[in-house]
A and B are shown apart, each in its own frame.
Chain A
């Protein structure tokens, strides 16, 4: 099977700071990738490259066999993106904002209108569908953003911390959604800090640290390599420079 997302030696610098130092990754259709790493590891940068927000990277990114630099528009049609910060035009109502998104994906108006209503109802937002989002809670905005990411039924869904601000019930909905999308053959690129969720939803974990991939495999494979530890422990073993226990000790010793 051909990989749907291929990153071949992707580098990115911000001035003198090297953020990505050669990322190599092949992702296959139907996979749910848990993309994890500590702060500043380069997760967001990778996501921004995949979604076409950063264009001045070095290396090759192929999505569905198309080079991202050659035809970004064709690639953007295949991708749904849910950004990390609840960035949306909050003076609009959910119906207006999602209608706008649907227009940008050139969905037929009637199809879009129907989907918007159904999806927002599924998230329990039908009551506020025509209210301006200025007063929405973070979780409500996040639900609108998730809807905007899947509205056009994309082949690839890129999620950057999609659960931030969501209540427990909504988290269950999103987790279910991810596994159902995967069953339909969609690829999900899930970028997060929340290890327990990543462990549950992903069928493959990619761990990056200081701009390179340092672990890649199913959760079972990683556990076997690291003596049956939890993902959280594997994460800290691979990325923490100093023992985290020691850090806690230092905190306690500050009282003395």
Chain B
């Protein structure tokens, strides 16, 4: 398929040659770039990747299928109402949003490939060839996403409106695509303005994480919201104030061309939908692109190393130090535990791999929590509080749910891309490896459970009163027990010492079953008796003893239980 794409893109050879472009080199760059795209994990795979031993193949096809799947969401607004202006304003809002999000994550790896500077620039390739190759690559890349993304809507529309309506839509989509590219450029510029190029990639990963959460959330929420909107007869009117909202231009433009409603507002919308994207893209080419290519080349260039190390002075963070020191002193009682705690504390805050794996799950848990609130039929806040008062089981469920974040983090504790650095554990005189693992687990508990647990605890006490204290304490104690039990069963290595690749599917599956079954069993037991406070108190005592025992077992894990990987 790539060959076909290259063929199509290179068809105006005569014109390119006139521009002074070297066709042979252009073809070489373009086909290599497309080949590399094929082998690169696409934007959603980057977040949810379960790295396997197999190298990525036919990633384009995957991207296209995924884009088509995402595109199904665009049909919702079309189903929502019969008012075209409302339908298409929402349609273009979703399109611009999803497209920007999908492209934003690819832009670093695909469109502004910093390695190009070292690999292609020293070669005898003139600037025009280089720029045209980049431009055609962008077009190829974007169309691979936009076309399948809009396909479900095209199919739906072709059954429901006249055919030329679909054609008009096809004409407007490239303009909304240009707008999305402009938005991405602006986001990039802002990020580069407020932060250093080194942090750039980290921020892009955060955006990626947010994107995957939004996608997950929108699939869960949109169908539910739709019902509400339909029952309220929601309609977007023709008002000039709405011209400040870009998706409205495209919807207006579509109505203007398709239904030939020649009102001033629709005409302005039509003009804006064509002119603004062209203006934006001109701005990008003329001003923004050169500025940020220059800045981005700093990301991997040795220039940054020289400059940043010169100008950056490491300021001792006086405020936070005593707090962390105190925390460590309270929670750990040996040097080894302390080391495990601090190492995990720093790594979880700084390692991008870790964050990419764990943070999306935090988002998913939040989405699920929000959804479980939706299940409570009451819609206003006071009513929700009332129903929580009546039924404390929501609070209990919430507490166990928030524990999932911790368990997911625990599952990632062993794994690191920099696992080779774990030689430090094997060459130093560590007597009881369990000490370090215990410290690490403590750090995870503080980081990933303390805050959500505390929030749920406070909410629980507020709505349920002091009478619910045993139930809440049992939740916390059980959560600690679950965590330590799973740590005891699953951790056979030091923190951050296992290669991602060796973490095979089978093990992942086993771990997933474990983090599902153990909390469900223990939480289920709690659920059965939560109304019977004396039993809850007895369970609390038993649970506390169990925590104490299993905590001790983890702390005592010996070398014979540890897998050495060097």
Binding site for B on A (CB under 8 A): 14-15, 17, 19, 40, 44, 51-53, 73-74, 76-77, 79, 81, 83-85, 87-89, 91-92, 96, 100-101, 103-106, 132, 134
> What residues on B are CB-neighbors of A44 within 8 Å?
302
Flag if B36 contacts A89 (CB, 8 Å).
yes
Other-chain contact of B32, A19, A52, A77, A89 (Cβ < 8 Å) = A89
A133 to B: closest C-beta gap in Å: 11
Top 6 closest pairs, chain A to chain B, by CB: A103-B28, A76-B124, A104-B123, A91-B39, A51-B122, A77-B124
CA distance in complex: A81, B119 (Å): 9
Q: Fill in one digit per residue for B1-42: 1 if any A CB lies within 8 Å of its CB, else 0.
A: 000000000000000000000101101110010011001100
Flag if A106 contacts B126 (CB, 8 Å).
no
Other-chain contact of A104, B29, B118, B307 (Cβ < 8 Å) = B29
> What residues on B are CB-neighbors of A84 within 8 Å?
302
CA distance in complex: A149, B122 (Å): 10
**CB-CB under 8 A for A92 and B36, given A14-B303, A104-B29, A134-B55:** yes
**CB-CB under 8 A for A53 and B32, given A73-B125, A106-B25:** no
What are 10 inter-chain pairs, A to B, with CB distance below 8 A? A52-B121, A53-B122, A76-B122, A83-B118, A91-B55, A91-B56, A104-B25, A104-B120, A105-B124, A132-B55
> What residues on B are CB-neighbors of A17 within 8 Å?
306-307, 310
Of the four ranges (under 10, 10 to 19, 20 to 34, 35 or more), the interface on chain B belongs to: 20 to 34
Instruction: List 10 other contacts, CB 8 Å, given A92-B36, A132-B39.
Output: A53-B122, A73-B124, A76-B122, A76-B125, A83-B118, A87-B300, A88-B119, A89-B36, A106-B22, A106-B24
B115 at the interface (CB under 8 A from A): yes
B432 at the interface (CB under 8 A from A): no
Q: Which of B25, B121, B126, B300 has the most CB of A within 10 A?
A: B121
B378 at the interface (CB under 8 A from A): no
B405 to A: closest C-beta gap in Å: 32
> What residues on A are CB-neighbors of B29 within 8 Å?
100, 104
B196 at the interface (CB under 8 A from A): no
In this complex, what residue of B is CB-closest to A80? Answer: B122
Other-chain contact of A76, B56, B118, B123, B303 (Cβ < 8 Å) = B123
Binding site for A on B (CB under 8 A): 22, 24-25, 27-29, 32, 35-36, 39-40, 55-56, 115, 117-126, 300, 302-303, 306-307, 310
A134 to B: closest C-beta gap in Å: 7
Secondary structure class of chain B's binding surface, majority of residues: helix
CA distance in complex: A134, B52 (Å): 13
> What residues on A are CB-neighbors of B124 within 8 Å?
73-74, 76-77, 104-106
In this complex, what residue of A is CB-closest to B298? Answer: A14
Flag if A40 contacts B55 (CB, 8 Å).
no
CA distance in complex: A227, B193 (Å): 53
CA distance in complex: A105, B22 (Å): 11
In this complex, what residue of B is CB-closest to A79? Answer: B122
Flag if A53 contacts B117 (CB, 8 Å).
yes
**CB-CB under 8 A for A101 and B123, given A19-B306, A106-B24:** yes
CA distance in complex: A40, B305 (Å): 10
Flag if B115 contacts A14 (CB, 8 Å).
no
A183 to B: closest C-beta gap in Å: 25
CA distance in complex: A44, B300 (Å): 14
A238 to B: closest C-beta gap in Å: 21
Flag if B24 contacts A52 (CB, 8 Å).
no
In this complex, what residue of B is CB-closest to A19? Answer: B306
Other-chain contact of B306, A14, A89, A106 (Cβ < 8 Å) = A14
> What residues on B are CB-neighbors of A40 within 8 Å?
306
Flag if A81 contacts B310 (CB, 8 Å).
no
CA distance in complex: A141, B417 (Å): 19
> What residues on A are CB-neighbors of B122 within 8 Å?
51-53, 76, 79, 81
B114 to A: closest C-beta gap in Å: 9
> What residues on A are CB-neighbors of B36 within 8 Å?
89, 91-92
> What residues on B are CB-neighbors of A19 within 8 Å?
306
In this complex, what residue of B is CB-closest to A106? Answer: B24
> What residues on B are CB-neighbors of A15 within 8 Å?
307
Flag if A100 contacts B28 (CB, 8 Å).
yes
CA distance in complex: A84, B302 (Å): 10
Flag if B25 contacts A92 (CB, 8 Å).
no
A30 to B: closest C-beta gap in Å: 22
> What residues on B are CB-neighbors of A83 within 8 Å?
118
B10 to A: closest C-beta gap in Å: 14
Q: Which of B22, B36, B119, B123 has the most CB of A within 10 A?
A: B123
> What residues on A are CB-neighbors of B115 within 8 Å?
87-89
Flag if B118 contacts A53 (CB, 8 Å).
yes
Other-chain contact of B119, A77, A89, A105 (Cβ < 8 Å) = A89
CA distance in complex: A175, B120 (Å): 26
Flag if B121 contacts A53 (CB, 8 Å).
yes
CA distance in complex: A79, B300 (Å): 23
> What residues on B are CB-neighbors of A77 within 8 Å?
124
CA distance in complex: A106, B115 (Å): 21
Q: Which of B22, B39, B119, B303 has the most CB of A within 10 A?
A: B119
In this complex, what residue of B is CB-closest to A132? Answer: B55
> What residues on A are CB-neighbors of B123 within 8 Å?
76, 101, 104-105
> What residues on B are CB-neighbors of A104 within 8 Å?
25, 28-29, 120, 123-125
CA distance in complex: A40, B27 (Å): 38
> What residues on A are CB-neighbors of B121 within 8 Å?
51-53
Flag if B32 contacts A14 (CB, 8 Å).
no
